[in-house]
Amino acid sequence: TYLRKNRSSIYNNSKRLSDFFEMACYNNIVRFYENNGFKVKTQNLVKNRFRYKCTTAGNPINYSYFSVSRKGVEFEIRHNINIQSYHNTDTYTTPDICILKPSSIKMDPLFHDTKRKYFYVENKSLISFCEVKNFNPFPELLFNFIGVVNELKPVLMRIPKSSANNHIATSLMLSGKANKHATKIIDNLHSRYHLNLISDLFNIGGLKFGKRNIKKLKLV
């Protein structure tokens, strides 16, 4: 009876906590670029405030984002943007954080059966991405992330040939701490693929993305 009467507030509180964690991870990715010598600017503020896009729906023009540049190269850090599959041009998925080529948002008026517009980015404009999960690491979650990378940018799982590493590699950012079995899986996946599986971010998020520790993260 208690759960039934209070399901709305329980759902809203749990979702808000996940949103806050996602926003913190988004900020940490921005910090990563700042600490690596990139110039970062806030864009599209709403009434002089940064509006996070904590939903997969909505027109990106209504939300804020960061533009990043260094040595004449520009890109954007966006939040919850639909990305075209690497394998099929008519299917999409929505990573929590995307590093994109600038001005790459497109609109498809025919995607939905209704008049609602669909906003997306072509796969060729995706540089890298991060998934954020307010969970403890567990096997299915870790293995599923490999599938997402394979669907969107399989080349990012391989060690880059170029030594000019500028961007963070595809990353799974987890709030909870890994147990012994999950730690083994993370170590094994790290040995096989060029990506970051980062856990315990509720406790050590600031440390992981500080100037000393960002050198430990894999780059592309």
For 49-70, the pLDDT digits (tens) are: 999 999 999 999 999 999 999 9
Crossing angle of helices 7-35 and 201-208, in 10° steps, is 20
Residues 6+ apart with CB under 8 A from 200: 174, 175, 176, 177, 178
pLDDT grade, residue 202 (50/70/90)? confident
pLDDT at 159 over 90: no
For 102-148, the pLDDT digits (tens) are: 999 999 998 988 988 999 999 999 999 999 999 999 999 999 999 99
For 4-15, the pLDDT digits (tens) are: 776 777 667 777
Query: How many whole angstroms separate alpha carbon 76 and alpha carbon 219?
Result: 17
Give me the mean pLDDT over the 186-206 stretch: 92
Confidence at residue 33, expressed as pLDDT on a 0 to 100 scale: 95
pLDDT grade, residue 17 (50/70/90)? confident
Residue 12 · residue 192 · CB < 8 Å: no
Element containing residue 36 per DSSP (H, E): none
Rounded to the nearest integer, the mean pLDDT of the chain is 92
Confidence at residue 86, expressed as pLDDT on a 0 to 100 scale: 98
Quick one: three-class SS letters along 97-160? EEEECCCCEEEECCCCCCCCCEEEECHHHEEEEEEEECCCCCHHHHHHHHHHHHHHCHHHHCCC
Q: 96 versus 1: which is more confidently predicted?
A: 96
CA dihedral 144, 59, 55, 151 (to 10 degrees): 0
Residues 6+ apart with CB under 8 A from 79: 22, 26, 52, 53, 54, 63, 65, 96, 97, 98
Is the pTM higher than 0.75? Answer: yes
Confidence at residue 99, expressed as pLDDT on a 0 to 100 scale: 98
Give me the mean pLDDT over the 150-173 stretch: 88
Confidence at residue 2, expressed as pLDDT on a 0 to 100 scale: 64
Q: 145 versus 212: which is more confidently predicted?
A: 145
Confidence at residue 133, expressed as pLDDT on a 0 to 100 scale: 96
∠ CA 125-217-17 to the nearest 5 degrees? 80
Confidence at residue 165, expressed as pLDDT on a 0 to 100 scale: 64
Q: What whole-number percentage of the chain has pLDDT above 90?
A: 77
| Alpha carbon separation from 13 to 2, 9, 16, 28 (Å, rounded) | 15, 6, 5, 23
